[in-house]
Structure 1
Amino acid sequence: MASRSLKLRLHVFSSKLHKWLALLIGAQVLLWMGTGALMSFLDLEEVRSEHIVSRAAQILPAGAELPEWLERQDDVVSVATRALDGKVVTEVRRADGGVTLHDPHSGRLLSPISAATARAIARRAWIGPETSVAGARLVERDVGTEFRGPFPAWQITYDDRDATRVYIDASSGTVLSARSDTWRLFDFIWGLHIMDWTQRDRINSWWLLLFGIVGTFIALSGFVLLANRLPRIGWLRGKRKSGS
């Protein structure tokens, strides 16, 4: 009799614990499902602003040749002659990871690029509805979760309804990334989804691990509670039949 009473108390306690934990975890599960559904509705091309900002390299004019002045440099890893803002430039990448732009004929250093050049690059990259460049700012540190390098980079803001910004490498003049309100919404939802509310780049945070483990425990305990109730349900049905 005492054993049966202990089992009953344990069952009641387990049932209450299961319900409260399920309520706690259920809120996050609802967030996972909701944010997952929202992210699936957002077009990735729009999130990346690919429909309004082109990252394609400019076509090199015919007859462009590799410069002779590079023969005097022995730390060069790669050389690329390309177009930048309608002009031919030579991009040199060195062993230490540095990137510089040069005049292809004289070797004159052209980088870091100026604000005016960055604005012109941004205007050429824009392929969306007609708009203008609202501002240019040189950034040398993380801009929240929106941009994390490489630095220095020019932050160019467009005067469009989505508050689009592009980040242009000050050393190479390359469009590194484009951010809009759609991207910012996606980034916020992603942070909720992976439970990394600040950096939004870790999919193995302790919060996510904890809720995953507790969620698994709730599911398993639910099966145990169900298994314990099934014999009781069968016994009650049998008793009712015999009573009738």
Structure 2
Amino acid sequence: MAKSKHYYIRKSHRYLGLLLGIQFLFWTIGGLYFSWSNMDDVHGDFQKKAEPLLSGNLQLVSPSVALDNIRKIHQADSFAAVQLIQILGKPVYQVKGRHMVHEHEGHTNRAAYTTYLADATTGQLRPALSREEAIAVASSRFNGTPAVKSVEYLTSTHSHHEYRESPLPAYAVTFEHPSATTVYVATDLGTVQKFRNNKWRAFDFLWMLHTMDYQGRDNFGNLLLRAFSILGLITVVSGFLLWGISTSLFKKRKKIAKRALV
């Protein structure tokens, strides 16, 4: 006896529902967390202390003095940006320089960028932040006075690290705080780059489940997400078809039953 369309649609709907049910649950949980979360808390804005401003009475040298000193020591052939920042209350020029890197034979040369720090009152270059300076910078930007729990020096990160795709090297300074906040300070830039706390980590994990990007977490066009989106649409459509066919069969059986009673 040939099986009806109703049978095949019902089977397809059942197994698709089983396959997609867990992912639909992840999407729902993630959506609830995203919509009910205060993004200021997720970003750690309540933990960030405003960066102090430099005095207007500072006697600064021209940035050209710092650029000349960079050219004397390094091979920078051009400069992309010069910015005045402060490191622990002292004015510093943050200079982004460019130099050409010579590749092996058969490869074209490529441009590489390096950030230099120079004392803005003398123009003399200064080294990247030390461990102690990085801790002091992180503490100066953290709202409150929590103790430092741990310090880690990062020279590389993987695709799931909470500091992924951010300037390196950097110090990760974690504080004794209920939020388990870690402040990331880029040593070459001399500035705080990221605040990461437990709410952000939960958001990031659920975001990975939401996007189904288990490599880098932020690719909304990955094949797995596209496939599940299409399968989800098929599941919904098969549900409507199943409802329509079931309703039609029920009406037919009801008519047959009425005729049998006549």
2:34 counterpart of 1:18: no
The two structures, once aligned, show a CA RMSD in angstroms of: 2.2
> 8 Å contact 2:179–2:197 — kept in the other structure?
yes
Secondary structure of residue in 2 paired with 1:30: helix
Give the Cα–Cα distance (whole angstroms) in 2 for the partners of residues 168 and 213 of structure 1.
Answer: 43
Query: Match of 1:44, as an amino acid?
Result: M
Q: Deviations over 1:89-144 (max 9, x none)?
A: 112122343211111233222231111111111111011x4312233322110064
Query: Match of 1:34, as an amino acid?
Result: I
1:37 aligns with one of 23, 32, 41: 32
Q: Mark the CA change 1:85 to 1:12 in structure 2 (over 3 Å): closer, same or farther.
A: same
Give the Cα–Cα distance (whole angstroms) in 1 for the partners of residues 242 and 178 of structure 2.
Answer: 54
TM superposition shift of 1:198 = 4.9
Alignment: residue pair count: 237
Secondary structure of residue in 2 paired with 1:209: helix
Give the Cα–Cα distance (whole angstroms) in 2 for the partners of residues 172 and 16 of structure 1.
Answer: 59
TM superposition shift of 1:21 = 1.5
Give the Cα–Cα distance (whole angstroms) in 1 for the partners of residues 67 and 192 of structure 2.
Answer: 29
Q: What are the equivalent positions in structure 2 for 1:112-123 lying under 5 Å apart?
A: 112-123=128-139
Give the Cα–Cα distance (whole angstroms) in 1 for the partners of residues 67 and 245 of structure 2.
Answer: 82
2:123 counterpart of 1:107: yes
2:157 counterpart of 1:142: yes
Name the counterpart of 2:218. Answer: 201
1:83 aligns with one of 82, 86, 106: 86
> 8 Å contact 2:148–2:175 — kept in the other structure?
yes
Q: Mark the CA change 1:71 to 1:210 in structure 2 (over 3 Å): closer, same or farther.
A: closer
TM-score, length of structure 1 as denominator length: 0.86
Single out whichever of 104-113 and 227-236 deviates more from structure 2.
Answer: 227-236
TM-score, length of structure 2 as denominator length: 0.81
> 8 Å contact 1:59–1:82 — kept in the other structure?
no
Secondary structure of residue in 1 paired with 2:153: strand
> 8 Å contact 1:145–1:199 — kept in the other structure?
no
TM superposition shift of 1:13 = 2.7
Q: Deviations over 1:147-195 (max 9, x none)?
A: 1221111111112122211111111211110111121111122122222
Give the Cα–Cα distance (whole angstroms) in 1 for the partners of residues 81 and 236 of structure 2.
Answer: 56
2:24 counterpart of 1:62: no
Give the Cα–Cα distance (whole angstroms) in 1 for the partners of residues 140 and 79 of structure 2.
Answer: 29
Q: Mark the CA change 1:71 to 1:24 in structure 2 (over 3 Å): closer, same or farther.
A: closer
> 8 Å contact 1:145–1:200 — kept in the other structure?
no
Name the counterpart of 2:74. Answer: none
Query: Match of 2:40, as an amino acid?
Result: E
Name the counterpart of 2:147. Answer: 132
Query: Match of 2:28, as an amino acid?
Result: M
Give the Cα–Cα distance (whole angstroms) in 1 for the partners of residues 130 and 66 of structure 2.
Answer: 24
2:179 counterpart of 1:185: no
Give the Cα–Cα distance (whole angstroms) in 2 for the partners of residues 100 and 152 of structure 1.
Answer: 13
Secondary structure of residue in 2 paired with 1:112: coil
Q: Which runs of 5+ in 2 are unaligned?
A: 72-76, 99-111
Q: Mark the CA change 1:44 to 1:219 in structure 2 (over 3 Å): closer, same or farther.
A: same
